[in-house]
Amino acid sequence: MKKRLITSLAAGAAAMLALAGCSAGADANSGGPDNGDKAKLTINVFSGWAEDVAVSNVWKEVLEEKGYDVTLTTTTAGPGFTGLSQGTYDVNFDAWLPNTHKAYWKKYGSDLEKLGAWYDKAPLTLAVNKDAPVDSLADLAAHADEFGNRIIGIEPGAGETAVVRDSVIPTYGLDKMTFVTSSTAAMLAELKKDIADGENVVVTLWKPHWAYSEFPLKDLKDPEGALGAPDSINTIARKGFSDDYPTLAKWFGNFSFPDEKLFDLENKMFNSGADESDYPKIVQDWLKDNKDFADGLTK
C-alpha cells in the first residue's frame, strides 16, 4: 500500500513537472516581447467612439505580432478613467484633452500618465443634414420644431454629453428641445434613418468620424464657443506604465494616425455591415494593405 502511494505521488509529481515544463515552453515559444516590457496588456476602449475602437484594434494586432498578450476591454468613459486610475486597465487611446474629458482628468489625472497626443485639433460638433434650414447653433432654437424638437446624443456618461448639456444647451437657449441620450450606435441609426427619409436631424458628433464621409452633413457654427476649442486625442495609461512597458510607452507616445487612413479603416469596420467579430480580420487585411504605416508604429 505504501509502495503504491509513493509510486502514485511520484507519478503525480512527474506529471506536474511535465505540465510546468510545457507551460514554460509555451511561454518561451510564444515570442513574448524581448524588450524589457511585460507581456500582458489590457487596453481600455471607450464604447461607441469609432476612432478608439479602430486604433485599439490596430494596436492589438500589431502588438500580438510582436509577442504581447493583448486584451481589449470596453467601457464608457467614466468607468474607463476609474479603471485606469486603479490599475485595472493599462492604457487607453481616447482621452480628449483639455476640454471633453476635463472633469475626468481633474479627478483622476494625478493617478495616470499622459503618453502623448496621436491626433491634434479634434473638435466636438453638432451636425445636421447638409440641406437643413440652419447653419448656426444661434438659430437652432427658432427652428427647433423642424428638427422634431430633439437633439440626438450619444452615451449619457460621455464627455461630449456633459458639454452639450451643461454648456451648449444653456448658451443657445435650447432647453425646450429634448436632449436624447442612449448610445453612439443609436445616434448613428437615427442619423441614417432621418437622412434617408429626408428629415432634418441634429446630432452630437466629433471629428475624426467616418460619418462625415458617409452622410451629407454640415457642422453648426458655434459663435459663442460653447463646445470649447478643439481637443487633442491622447494616449493615457495607469501610473507606472512607463516603468513596466518602456518600449510601449515610446511607441504609444510617438505615433499619429492621418485622417485619410483613419477614415478608410473606420469605413471598413463600421460602414460595411461587419460585426464586431469581423474586426480582427478587417484590421489584419487593412494592415497588410498599409504595411509602411503598420511598420512605422513600432519604430
Distance in angstroms (rounded) separating the CA atoms of residues 121 and 215: 22
pLDDT tens digit sequence for 193-213: 999 999 999 999 999 999 998
Query: Could you give the C-alpha distances from 51 to 169, 171, 259, in angstroms and in order?
Result: 26, 29, 10
pLDDT tens digit sequence for 151-169: 999 999 999 999 999 999 9
Sign for the CA dihedral angle at 107, 119, 280, 204 comes to positive
pLDDT-based confidence at residue 272 (cuts at 50, 70, 90) = confident
pLDDT-based confidence at residue 7 (cuts at 50, 70, 90) = very low
Judge if pTM exceeds 0.85. Answer: no
Return the pLDDT at 34. Answer: 86
In the predicted model, is pLDDT for residue 15 greater than 80? no
Rg (CA), the chain: 24
Report all structural domains of the chain as residue ranges with CATH numbers, in order of start.
40-122+231-297 (3.40.190.10), 124-219 (3.40.190.100)
Return the pLDDT at 2. Answer: 32
Q: Who's near 146: CB < 8 A, 6+ residues apart?
A: 132, 133, 200
Residue 220, all three cell numbers: 453648426
pLDDT tens digit sequence for 79-138: 999 999 999 999 999 999 999 999 999 999 999 999 999 999 999 999 999 999 999 999
Return the pLDDT at 200. Answer: 99
Return the pLDDT at 128. Answer: 99
DSSP codes, 124-166: EEEEEETT-S-SBGGGTGGGGGGGTTEEE---TTSHHHHHIII
Distance in angstroms (rounded) separating the CA atoms of residues 110 and 103: 13
Return the pLDDT at 31. Answer: 53
Most confident of 1-10, 13-22, 154-163: 154-163
